């Protein structure tokens, strides 16, 4: 190719690409490959209605994680800790045995939740619930699957749950913790038979661990005998803290990940671009997107990850103006739930386009046929990087990943030598002037409030990484002001003095401090 990039691997055979309508974690496996086991071998083990359900979904053969769980557990009601990459079919791997247990042992008490699935995001909860409905669609008796997550009206959703007949509940930790404050909710969980923690490692990040432990204390005790299933792509040490509460000693550990394999999807070529200055960030993003499009215009469905929700909102405004030839979407936590759900569905169905997103889609979400993941700015940690890259090369397809960093952020590459990230094959920096003119033309049309919020979010996010960035508070403010000038701000945006205090930046020169909270 003219830009020196390595050629992409040939596309998969046509019959493996014909499931673009799939919107769940499980990959279509209608074409047999050597070693794959058909679901039909589970006849007599799984209820006929479940086998009809997966067949109607287009699944003929088990993915490796599905086969391990269904074939290697001592029984389908055994406790397990399962490690598998995203996009490999984990959702069906826990739903099938959990639902089978309710059916085969007549465990379901009407009006009581038999299966509780806890996952980190609203989008993932909706995705799991949809697959649950599809899998159970051919059962003789309907199993109600309810969801519980923030961003919806608490009173109305709580009323539906209490008055309904929820056999299965898929919930995020915050809303579930809140709901369990109600005695009627706790009563409906007294018949619990299976508890699933999906994306278990993220659950136990600082923001989720306290809620998870509170939830576990208000569920029926483990001594009641309910099944525990923990699923995740990575298994850091902190997982052990919750494993002791969810799994009985002697639980089964299963993994479909080769310990000697690079910790990202093997088929994803990964590249990085290092910029001399933060001011070049936006021009570099446009340059990478255009270069990637030129190399493969027929396969251009992209997720661009920003570091903060407000930063993502600003990037969306910029890309919509600077790249009008592409359909552009935004998805982040500052949007209301209806908008998030609508955007999720639209991007899933879109054959191409650019989704500017925060980490609400960083894990578990399956957007079909994503060909490229771009990360703009410093990933929070190695695990976050891995999960973001996992949004592409799903269900047997190919993908690419590019990370754009400015000079102080380049330590991420050096401190992660196991990640197979190579320098971007085109000299992007030398081509930035022509893209900078496009940035300069577009930013005056972006609302000042969007820039102010992005500036404030930039300060807050990078304040956490001062030591790694080798910056002091004064240098951080200087850096943020350069970021503001790159957005076309004639002077640094004003920040409320209370916010400055919370950030620990009181007295740092270079800030414009006001008395009104702009957030």
For the chain, domains (ranges, CATH) are 22-255 (3.40.50.300), 270-446 (3.40.50.300), 449-514 (no CATH)
Phi-psi label, residue 87: left if phi above 0, alpha if psi -120 to 50, beta otherwise: left
> Of the ranges 195-204, 211-220, 312-321, which one carries the lowest mean pLDDT score?
195-204
Predicted pLDDT of residue 336:
87
- Tens of pLDDT, residue by residue over 333-392, are 889 878 988 999 999 999 999 999 998 775 556 788 899 999 999 998 888 888 888 888
**Which residue is listed with tokens 């739903």?**
95
Render pLDDT for 481-518 as a digit per residue (tens, 0 to 9). 999 999 999 999 999 999 999 999 999 999 999 865 44
| Spatial separation of the C-alpha atoms in residues 494 and 512, rounded to whole Å | 5
pLDDT band at 7 (very low <50, low <70, confident <90, very high): very low
CA–CA separation, 291 and 232 (whole Å):
34
Using the 8-state DSSP alphabet, how is residue 23 labeled?
Answer: -
**pLDDT at 395 (0 to 100):** 62
d(CA 449, CA 88): 41
pLDDT of residue 252: 95
pLDDT score recorded for residue 333: 86
Helix (H, G, I), strand (E, B) or coil at 515: coil
Identify the pLDDT of residue 76: 95
- Separation of alpha carbons 328 and 462, rounded Å: 26
* Cβ 226 vs Cβ 195: under 8 Å: yes
Cα 340 from Cα 197, distance rounded (Å): 23
Question: Rounded distance, CA 415 to CA 272, Å?
Answer: 14
Q: How many whole angstroms separate alpha carbon 384 and alpha carbon 200?
A: 13
Tell me if 239 sits within 8 A of 232, measured CB to CB: yes
Q: What is the pLDDT of the chain when averaged over all its residues? A: 86
- Please report the pLDDT score of residue 2 as a whole number: 36
Phi, psi of 29 (to 5 degrees): -130, 50
pLDDT value for 516:
54
The secondary structure of residue 46, as a DSSP letter, is: B
pLDDT at 273: 97
- Contact between 466 and 452 under an 8 Å Cβ cutoff? The reply is no
Task: Work out the angle at residue 381's Cα, subtended by the Cα atoms of residues 377 and 384, and round it to the nearest 5 degrees.
Answer: 85
Give 32-84 pLDDT, tens digit per residue. 445 689 999 999 999 999 999 999 999 999 999 999 999 999 999 999 999 88
pLDDT digits (tens, 9 = 90+) for 17-31: 222 233 334 444 344
So what's the pLDDT on residue 400? 93
What's the whole-model pTM score?
A: 0.63
Q: What is the distance between the alpha carbons of residues 16 and 30, in angstroms, rounded to a whole number?
A: 8
Cβ atoms 181, 220 nearer than 8 A: no
Confidence category of residue 262, pLDDT binned at 50, 70, 90: low
The 3-state secondary structure of 99-138 reads: HHHHHHCCCCCCCCCCEEEECCCHHHHHHHHHHHHHHCCC
Give the separation between CA 378 and CA 239, rounded to whole angstroms.
25
């Amino acid at each position: 190719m003219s830009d020196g990039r390595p050629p992409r691997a040939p596309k998969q055979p046509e019959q493996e690409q014909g499931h673009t309508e799939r919107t769940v974690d499980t990959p279509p496996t209608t074409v047999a490959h050597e070693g794959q086991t058909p679901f039909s071998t589970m006849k007599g083990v799984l209820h006929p209605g479940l086998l009809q359900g997966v067949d109607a979904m287009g699944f003929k053969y088990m993915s490796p994680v599905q086969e391990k769980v269904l074939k290697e557990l001592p029984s389908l009601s055994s406790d397990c800790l399962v490690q598998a990459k995203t996009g490999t079919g984990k959702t069906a791997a826990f739903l099938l045995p959990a639902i089978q247990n309710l059916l085969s042992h007549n465990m379901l008490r009407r009006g009581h939740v038999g299966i509780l699935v806890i996952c980190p995001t609203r989008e993932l909860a909706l995705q799991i619930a949809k697959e649950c409905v599809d899998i159970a669609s051919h059962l003789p008796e309907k199993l109600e699957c309810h969801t519980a997550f923030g961003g919806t009206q608490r009173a109305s959703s709580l009323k539906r749950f209490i008055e309904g007949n929820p056999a299965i509940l898929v919930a995020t930790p915050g809303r579930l913790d809140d709901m369990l404050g109600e005695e009627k909710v706790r009563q409906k969980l007294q018949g619990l038979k299976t508890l699933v923690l999906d994306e278990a490692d993220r659950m136990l990040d600082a923001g989720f661990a306290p809620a998870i432990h509170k939830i576990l204390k208000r569920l029926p005790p483990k001594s009641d005998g309910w099944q525990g299933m923990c699923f995740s792509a990575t298994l850091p040490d902190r997982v052990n803290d919750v494993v002791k509460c969810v799994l009985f000693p002697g639980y089964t550990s299963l993994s479909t990940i080769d310990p000697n394999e690079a910790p990202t999807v093997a088929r994803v070529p990964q590249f990085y671009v290092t910029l001399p200055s933060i001011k070049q960030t936006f021009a570099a993003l446009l340059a990478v997107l255009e270069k990637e499009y030129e190399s493969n215009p027929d396969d251009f469905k992209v997720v661009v990850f920003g570091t903060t929700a407000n930063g993502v909102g600003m990037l969306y405004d910029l890309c919509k103006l600077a790249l009008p030839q592409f359909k552009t979407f935004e998805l982040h936590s500052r949007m209301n739930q209806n908008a998030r759900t609508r955007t999720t569905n639209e991007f899933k169905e879109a054959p191409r386009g650019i989704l500017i997103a925060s980490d609400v889609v960083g894990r578990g979400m399956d957007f079909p046929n994503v060909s490229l993941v771009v990360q703009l700015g410093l990933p929070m940690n190695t695990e976050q990087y891995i999960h973001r890259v996992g949004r592409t090369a799903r269900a047997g397809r190919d993908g690419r990943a590019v990370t754009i960093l400015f000079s102080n952020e380049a330590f991420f590459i050096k401190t992660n030598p196991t990640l197979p990230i190579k320098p971007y094959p085109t000299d992007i920096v030398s081509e930035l002037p022509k893209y900078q003119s496009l940035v300069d033309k577009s930013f005056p049309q972006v609302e000042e409030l969007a820039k102010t919020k992005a500036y404030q979010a930039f300060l807050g996010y990078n304040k956490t990484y001062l030591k790694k960035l080798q910056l002091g508070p004064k240098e951080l403010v200087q850096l943020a002001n350069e970021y503001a000038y790159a957005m076309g701000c004639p002077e640094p945006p004003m920040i409320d003095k209370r916010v400055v205090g919370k950030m620990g930046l009181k007295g740092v020169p270079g800030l414009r401090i006001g008395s009104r909270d702009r957030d």
